[in-house]
């Protein structure tokens, strides 16, 4: 015999109303076509709990006690990379046998879900120290200071977006249907390396790097693009140049030229791409370029130039004006990586 369908809340309320009006159980049963025993049960529960809404049921006894659940959660928090199967084995070694599904449900109940680990630069103690010092030294700088900074960096853009992901709706067993696969080519079909700069007032130059960039190539890029970009962006005379600590950037020949050109350089903590807002600009650029689906490297370079120029100055200013939040995040994380 199949499970009977539960009565609606409205029907239960009608049963209670008829009972309050003085009608007998039999009369209510006959009028509403509901078994007498069901009518009696609903009225009895209403008198005890004061409601006709179904109350939570106890269900099957849990496999894990509250203490065991707390231990499981502590285990996962202390070892974020542990797998569900390994958790099951560890619990089984202590005499508790549970399934992978049970482990997953318990962790979900405590707000823990399996996610891909974010790839971030390796930070050693000296990196944490310099990041915290940078945040402390610049915490009192207002928007006026950051609006005078010319941010720079290099990035690689692949023709077919080697690292992009695509989700599809499919049934089981249809994974290799051509409509549900994403064609790939070796090395992303080729790539180009770009050097770019921007400030709160907009984007500056975007230069293609030919081959492997050496310190002489980097120096030539700075000589041809740094001051023109600063003038075009209206940074005035007291602007500051930002670059990371790549060996090419900190080479003797580059340092000497920056000194001779009287360009002030922002002292930068190593391994800190999250402190450079141009990383957010690269993300925007790559998204817009790949949406246009370039078919060859020359077109890829063309689209990069066009989309870099199309980035609105308002977006640049909004990104720079919120810079202090990055410093606060570094301080709160005690020098470790942040969400930026």
pLDDT of residue 1: 46
pLDDT-above-90 percentage for the chain: 56
| Neighbouring C-beta atoms of residue 228, cutoff 10 Å | 12
For residue 21, give Cα distances in angstroms to 15, 33, 285.
10, 18, 72
pLDDT value of residue 124: 92
Q: Which comes out higher in pLDDT, residue 223 or 175? A: 223
Residue 195 pLDDT more than 60? yes
| Structure confidence at residue 181 (pLDDT) | 73
Angle among Cα 236, 313, 264 to the nearest 5 degrees reads 30
Task: Return the pLDDT at 164.
Answer: 57
- pLDDT, one tens digit per residue, over 297-307 is 999 999 999 99
What CA–CA distances, in Å, run from 15 to 21, 32, 46, 48, 51? 10, 8, 10, 15, 12
% of the chain surpassing 70 pLDDT: 94
pLDDT recorded at residue 268:
96
* 177 against 333, higher pLDDT: 333
pLDDT at 168: 72
Taking 3-state DSSP, the helix, strand and coil percentages for the chain, each rounded to the nearest 5, stand at 50, 10, 40
Q: Is the pLDDT at 281 greater than 90, yes or no?
A: yes
Q: Which of these ranges, 42-51, 131-140, 153-162, 246-255, has the smallest mean pLDDT? A: 153-162
Q: Among all chains, which residue has been given the structure tokens 């990104």?
A: 319
Q: Give pTM, 2 decimals.
A: 0.70
Which pLDDT band holds residue 133 (cuts at 50, 70, 90)? Answer: very high
pLDDT at 166: 65
Whether the Cβ atoms of residue 294 and residue 300 lie closer than 8 Å to each other: yes
CA 234 to centroid of chain Cα atoms = 34
Distance CA 117, CA 108 (A): 17
What pLDDT is recorded for position 187?
A: 53
Residue 163 scores a pLDDT above 70:
no
Phi then psi dihedrals of residue 56, to 5 deg: -60, 140
Count other Cβ atoms within 10 Å, centred on residue 16.
17
**Amino acid 315: pLDDT:** 95
């Amino acid at each position: 015999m199949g499970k009977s369908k539960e009565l609606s809340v409205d029907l239960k309320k009608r049963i209670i109303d008829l009972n309050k009006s003085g009608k007998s159980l039999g009369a209510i049963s006959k009028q509403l076509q509901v078994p007498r025993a069901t009518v009696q049960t609903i009225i009895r529960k209403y008198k005890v709990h004061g409601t006709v809404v179904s109350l939570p049921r106890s269900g099957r006894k849990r496999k894990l006690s509250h203490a065991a659940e707390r231990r499981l959660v502590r285990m996962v928090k202390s070892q974020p990379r542990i797998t569900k199967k390994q958790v099951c084995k560890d619990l089984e070694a202590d005499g508790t046998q549970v399934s992978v599904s049970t482990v997953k449900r318990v962790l979900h109940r405590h707000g823990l879900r399996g996610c891909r680990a974010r790839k971030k630069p390796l930070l050693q103690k000296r990196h944490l120290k310099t990041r915290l010092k940078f945040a402390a030294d610049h915490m009192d700088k207002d928007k006026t200071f950051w609006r005078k900074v010319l941010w720079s960096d290099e990035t690689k853009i692949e023709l077919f977006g080697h690292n992009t992901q695509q989700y599809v709706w499919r049934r089981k067993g249809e994974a290799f249907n051509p409509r549900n696969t994403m064609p790939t080519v070796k090395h992303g079909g080729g790539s180009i390396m770009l050097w770019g700069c921007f400030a709160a007032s907009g984007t500056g130059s975007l230069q293609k790097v030919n081959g492997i960039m050496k310190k002489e190539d980097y120096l030539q890029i700075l000589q041809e693009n740094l001051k023109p970009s600063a003038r075009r962006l209206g940074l005035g005379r007291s602007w500051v140049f930002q670059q990371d600590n790549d060996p090419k950037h900190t080479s003797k020949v580059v340092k000497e030229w920056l000194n001779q050109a009287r360009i002030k350089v922002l002292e930068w903590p190593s391994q800190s791409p999250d402190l450079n807002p141009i990383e957010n600009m690269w993300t925007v650029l790559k998204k817009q370029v790949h949406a246009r689906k370039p078919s060859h490297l020359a077109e890829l370079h063309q689209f990069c130039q066009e989309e870099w120029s199309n980035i609105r100055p308002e977006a640049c200013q909004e990104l720079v004006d919120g810079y202090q939040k990055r410093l606060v995040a570094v301080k709160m994380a005690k020098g470790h990586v942040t969400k930026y």
